[in-house]
Homo-oligomer: A and B are copies of this chain.
């Protein structure tokens, strides 16, 4: 194996490969990157328990002097990142050492046996679902934060994607809040899959700079996203995702519209004083604030902390369709996460009653709904 390539091209592809590279693994060979060089192409592969990534490089700068294959340690990425030469030469010495030559530098890395690297199948069946990368990024970003971080109900650590009659509904919930985005897609078979949140975080990073179409290929227990020269494959979560379709009401006693940034800033300030509960299973009681519509149609965001003191901010809603008073208490983090998922300047809170879930929508975020379960206030 012996090749020369532009460092920038190699680095960009290694950054993509790093999305699937574990730092530790029960199979040590998986902490390495497989390089497979044919007459014309350089293939690089990484894999962890959730994700496998493969890139195919046949860039104009790639000069292959000798095909071959090997598995190099993850350190390879650090070296290519730090080098500042325009070109790098990579060759295998006695099948034991990868030599990296760059200007006046020479780096030697002990390699692993490529025959030990498990065979990865990136099966691109026919008929992919094509989704624009920006649409896909938006769907993931507006929902993934609401997945559960606890493994108690593993299915809730994923985001559910359900297609029924070409309407794709994307849902995430940790059972204290729920995020839902609905879009129309091109005609495509119905499906119902749940993708691990970590896989989606990595996919987001992998497609961050990409603006074209992503091809999605569905299999029984995995999903392959193919774009540019990249195959990104993730396992799917087993089990049935709970039916959340009836949780989101469409009737609200009161709809309150706010300037989003004003609401975010007021909640952030007030939550400085809200009592903290760092107990893991008590996330719901974390940083509680209260939102209250008063009789005079002003809104007060407030908190009381027996240790430190209390805080309140008064806000004037830009829209209001019924009279109060009504109040809800909630985790400020949940409302802040929800608000930050909107691009709209104005957001509307739909309230039912003190003990009923409330929702947030934005005029310019069509079919995005954030639902938050209130907490009991003293």
Which residues does chain B contribute within 8 Å of A269, judged by CB atoms?
Answer: 79, 82-83, 105, 107
- Are B109 and A313 neighbours in the complex by a CB distance under 8 Å? no
Determine how close the nearest CB of chain B comes to the CB of A128; give it in whole angstroms: 40
Determine how close the nearest CB of chain B comes to the CB of A295; give it in whole angstroms: 17
- Are A309 and B266 neighbours in the complex by a CB distance under 8 Å? no
Question: In the docked arrangement, what's the CA distance between A46 and B269, Å?
Answer: 24
- Are B308 and A84 neighbours in the complex by a CB distance under 8 Å? no
A302: nearest residue on chain B (CB-CB)? Answer: B106
Which residues does chain B contribute within 8 Å of A268, judged by CB atoms?
Answer: 82
Determine how close the nearest CB of chain B comes to the CB of A147; give it in whole angstroms: 28
For A260-286 the 0/1 string (1 means CB < 8 A from B) is 000001101110110000000000000
Which residues does chain B contribute within 8 Å of A78, judged by CB atoms?
Answer: 272
Which residues does chain B contribute within 8 Å of A110, judged by CB atoms?
Answer: 307-309
Cβ of A108 within 8 Å of any chain B Cβ, yes or no, is yes
Of B104, B266, B272, the residue contacting A79 (CB under 8 A) is B272
- Are A308 and B83 neighbours in the complex by a CB distance under 8 Å? no
A-B contact pairs, 14 of them (CB 8 A): A73-B308, A75-B272, A78-B272, A82-B272, A83-B269, A97-B309, A105-B311, A105-B312, A105-B313, A105-B314, A107-B269, A107-B309, A108-B310, A110-B309
- Are B313 and A273 neighbours in the complex by a CB distance under 8 Å? no
* 15 additional contacts (CB under 8 A) given A104-B313, A105-B270: A73-B308, A75-B273, A75-B309, A78-B272, A82-B272, A83-B269, A97-B309, A98-B309, A104-B314, A105-B312, A106-B312, A106-B313, A107-B273, A108-B310, A109-B309
Determine how close the nearest CB of chain B comes to the CB of A112; give it in whole angstroms: 12
Cβ of A315 within 8 Å of any chain B Cβ, yes or no, is yes
Determine how close the nearest CB of chain B comes to the CB of A268; give it in whole angstroms: 6
Which residues does chain B contribute within 8 Å of A106, judged by CB atoms?
Answer: 311-313
Which residues does chain B contribute within 8 Å of A310, judged by CB atoms?
Answer: 107-108
Question: In the docked arrangement, what's the CA distance between A55 and B72, Å?
Answer: 58
A99: nearest residue on chain B (CB-CB)? Answer: B309
Question: In the docked arrangement, what's the CA distance between A148 and B165, Å?
Answer: 68
A272: nearest residue on chain B (CB-CB)? Answer: B78
Q: Which 4 A-B pairs have the closest CB atoms?
A: A109-B309, A104-B314, A108-B309, A105-B313
Question: In the docked arrangement, what's the CA distance between A110 and B307, Å?
Answer: 8
Question: In the docked arrangement, what's the CA distance between A314 and B101, Å?
Answer: 12
Question: In the docked arrangement, what's the CA distance between A324 and B107, Å?
Answer: 24
Q: Which residue, of A82, A84, A104, A315, has the highest number of chain B Cβ atoms within 10 A? A: A104
Which residues does chain B contribute within 8 Å of A84, judged by CB atoms?
Answer: 265
Question: In the docked arrangement, what's the CA distance between A107 and B269, Å?
Answer: 9
Question: In the docked arrangement, what's the CA distance between A225 and B31, Å?
Answer: 53
Question: In the docked arrangement, what's the CA distance between A98 and B308, Å?
Answer: 11
CB interface residues, A 79-94, toward B, < 8 Å: 79, 82-84
Determine how close the nearest CB of chain B comes to the CB of A185; give it in whole angstroms: 42
For A304-322 the 0/1 string (1 means CB < 8 A from B) is 0001111111110000000
Which residues does chain B contribute within 8 Å of A104, judged by CB atoms?
Answer: 313-315
Which residues does chain B contribute within 8 Å of A73, judged by CB atoms?
Answer: 308
CB interface residues, A 105-128, toward B, < 8 Å: 105-110
Determine how close the nearest CB of chain B comes to the CB of A161; give it in whole angstroms: 37
